[in-house]
Amino acid sequence: MAGAATLTITEANYQSEVVQSQVPVLIDFWAEWCQPCRMIGPTIDQIASEYAGKAKVGKVDVDSNRNLAVQFGIQSIPCVVVVKGGQVVARAMGIKPKAEFAKMIDAAL
């Protein structure tokens, strides 16, 4: 489940939340059945709180948003990407420490 500051990004709101965003967007591609995805969930929510106002943080459920997963070339999850100006500027696969995700956003700010 997404935390208060964490957006739920879907195919329907992708254009407005990500492509048209004025700030970098960190996107966590995940699925309910993916244990590693659930393990990084709290970390993603912490980053969402810490970067509120500076960057957006959202989650894409790959099961209900297959087209987005395909568009980003997601082959395994968890996969975290940072999008700035509609372009992917950073990508990380698997479980990473919070500092690693923070560094990805910092580089895009």
Centroid of chain to Cα 36 = 15
Cis geometry, peptide bond prior to residue 78 (ω within 30 degrees of 0): yes
Catalytic choice (37, 40, 44, 57): 37
Distance separating alpha carbons of residues 21 and 12, to the nearest angstrom: 15
Known catalytic membership, residue 37: yes
Q: Are 6 and 45 in contact (CB under 8 A)?
A: yes
Known catalytic membership, residue 34: yes
Going by their DSSP bridges, the two strands 87-93 and 79-84 should be labelled as antiparallel
Catalytic choice (2, 9, 34, 69): 34
Catalytic residues: 34, 37
